[in-house]
């Protein structure tokens, strides 16, 4: 019978050997993750202001930031905890892991028909009726579809919450460095024809999704995902001090898809593991369907312009991201060493908090050796 963890904080543990794992190799993996802390300072206010290569005023922090704790994480096999290190109840920022949660919210909207066609231009979606802000005017932004936003190929041009899209131009292009310095001019391509990692554009997607739902996204996420999977009430999702809009006469905050300028998701590893387990189970939680299998299939389809990326999830296509992990593995990734690893081939979920990015693949190699053992 498929194991389903009870609501937080209950969660069954199982001896690694009972789960078909080599205990020594799994212990080595846990020690490796605990002992290889990210080089990021624990003062995240400093990191947010200084680590993204931006000068004043572009580096201005707009959302809440709190100091982080130490490395922690856990490994699940068949849904049960087989390894745990550090304080997995420690609530910290996740940075761009929040992007993958936006993908889940987009999937929930698609499942309910709020997004009728992923190839429909965002500005033509019925929720964007008179009275909503613009942002999708011709001759360029009117061509941007939901598909483009989710694959980071939108090339959206504009300013949102005081941050122009130019901030992240040339940041990461097709998985590598841009041809010029980050934050410098690059001629925009037709939407759908260029892959670039751009946090301003992701924040524009977040606002668009809130306009679809007509509700704050954290409320939707809580009701449709976190409460059904038995997550704790301890997580938070914030935007910026200037990211409030009015929808249907109500003032709402548009949340950020990361913590580049503060804000984003504050959460602990155990809640992240529940989200990972939901996806590992194909969108099911016990007998309850939460997210459609069709959405997960679309979410994990490689972008033709960058095969290591799907719909705001990182993919291990041809083992190009992490050679030690299975090719079917996929990841929610955040700056500073935050990673949720989902491996359908091996019925595995692992959450790593504040691990040195260089130590991720060696950790996966140790876990995989435990499985083979």
- As a whole number of angstroms, the distance between CA 343 and CA 330 comes to 7
Question: Is 127 a residue whose pLDDT tops 90?
Answer: no
179: pLDDT strictly greater than 80:
no
pLDDT one-digit tens code per residue, 258-315: 999 999 999 999 999 999 999 999 999 999 999 999 999 999 999 999 999 999 999 9
| Structure-token pair, residue 205 | 């997607």
φ and ψ of 226, to 5 deg: -70, -40
Mean pLDDT for the stretch of residues 164-177 = 85
To the nearest whole number, what is the mean pLDDT of the chain? 96
Res 131 pLDDT > 70: no
| Integer Cα distance of 334 and 84 in angstroms | 20
pLDDT of residue 254: 98
The pLDDT-based confidence of 78 (bands split at 50, 70, 90) is very high
Give the mean pLDDT of 168-183.
82
Q: Where are the alpha helices (DSSP H) in the chain?
A: 23-35, 44-50, 97-111, 146-151, 199-213, 217-221, 269-280, 293-299, 360-372
Whole-number percent of the chain with pLDDT over 90: 93
At residue 226's C-alpha, the angle toward residues 223 and 230, to 5°, is: 115
* Whole-prediction pTM: 0.97
Question: Mean per-residue pLDDT for 199-226?
Answer: 97
pLDDT digits (tens, 9 = 90+) for 8-34: 999 999 999 999 999 999 999 999 999
Does the pLDDT value for residue 329 go beyond 60? yes
Tell me how many degrees the CA angle 264-104-92 measures, rounded to the nearest 5. 30
Is 90 exceeded by the pLDDT of residue 349? yes
What is the tens place of the pLDDT at every residue in 237-255? 999 999 999 999 999 999 9
Distance, in Å, from the CA atom of 90 to the CA atom of 191, rounded to the nearest integer, reads: 40
Query: Residue 273 has what pLDDT?
Result: 98
DSSP state of 6: P
């Amino acid at each position: 019978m498929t194991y389903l963890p009870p609501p937080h904080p209950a969660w069954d543990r199982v001896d690694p050997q009972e789960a078909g794992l080599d205990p020594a190799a799994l212990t080595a993996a846990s020690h490796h993750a605990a002992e290889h802390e990210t080089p990021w300072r624990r003062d995240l206010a400093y990191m947010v202001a200084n680590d993204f290569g931006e000068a004043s005023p572009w580096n201005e922090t707009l959302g809440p930031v709190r100091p982080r704790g130490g490395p922690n994480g856990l490994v699940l096999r068949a849904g049960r905890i087989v390894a745990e290190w550090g304080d997995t109840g420690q609530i910290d920022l996740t940075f761009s892991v929040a992007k993958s949660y936006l993908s889940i919210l987009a999937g929930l909207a698609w499942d309910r028909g709020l997004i009728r066609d992923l190839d429909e231009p965002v500005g033509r979606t019925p929720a964007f009726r008179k009275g909503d802000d613009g942002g999708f005017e011709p001759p360029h932004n009117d061509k941007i579809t939901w598909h483009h936003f989710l694959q980071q190929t939108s090339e959206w041009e504009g300013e949102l919450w005081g941050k122009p899209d130019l901030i992240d131009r040339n940041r990461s292009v097709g998985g590598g460095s841009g041809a010029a310095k980050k934050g410098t001019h690059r001629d925009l391509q037709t939407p759908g024809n260029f892959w670039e990692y751009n946090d301003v554009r992701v924040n524009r997607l977040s606002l668009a999704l809130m306009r679809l739902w007509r509700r704050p996204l954290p409320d939707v996420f809580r009701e449709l995902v976190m409460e059904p999977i038995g997550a704790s009430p301890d997580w938070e999702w914030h935007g910026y001090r200037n990211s409030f809009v009015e929808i249907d006469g109500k003032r709402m905050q548009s949340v950020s898809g990361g913590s580049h300028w503060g804000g984003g998701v504050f959460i602990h590893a155990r809640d992240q593991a529940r989200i990972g387990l939901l996806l590992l189970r194909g969108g099911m939680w016990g007998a309850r369907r939460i997210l459609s299998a069709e959405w997960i299939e679309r979410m994990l389809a490689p972008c033709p312009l960058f095969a290591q990326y799907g719909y705001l999830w990182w993919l291990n296509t041809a083992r190009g991201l992490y050679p030690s992990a299975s090719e079917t593995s996929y990841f929610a990734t955040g700056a500073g060493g935050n990673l949720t690893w989902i491996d359908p081939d091996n019925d595995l979920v692992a959450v790593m908090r504040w691990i040195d990015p260089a130590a991720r693949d060696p950790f996966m190699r140790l876990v995989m050796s435990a499985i083979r053992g």
